[in-house]
Amino acid sequence: MAKNIYVGNLSFKTTDEELGDYFKPFGSVSSARVIRDKFTDRSRGFGFVEMDNDEEADKAVTELNGKDVDGRTLKVSEARPRERRPRSGGY
């Protein structure tokens, strides 16, 4: 089963491809995505990486957490399940 990894404190110029490249030395990367603002399409400074092998993912988290990339200290951890938020769509 693939492991989902949260990567925070990214440079705002980091692309999906660059994010994946940070993790490739540790193993197979299924996907890498920088989260963007839906209105401005500007990076929100965090993203998610999915790796196929749990051992490789754990090693990547250990090695990359606290590492300086583009002048920013990465915060890397296993992603928590997404919480359901109540919708407040009124008029």
pTM of structure:
0.87
DSSP lists the bridge partners of residue 10 as none
How far apart, in whole angstroms, are the C-alpha atoms of residue 4 and residue 60? 12
The domain made up of 3-78 is a member of CATH 3.90.78.10: no
Q: How would you label 69-82 residue by residue, b for 16+ Cβ within 10 Å and e otherwise?
A: beeeebebeeeeee
> What are the domain boundaries of the chain?
3-78
Confidence of residue 87 (pLDDT cuts 50, 70, 90): confident
Phi, psi of 73 (to 5 degrees): -90, 115
Report pLDDT digits (tens) over 23-80: 999 999 999 999 999 999 999 999 999 999 999 999 999 999 999 999 999 999 999 8
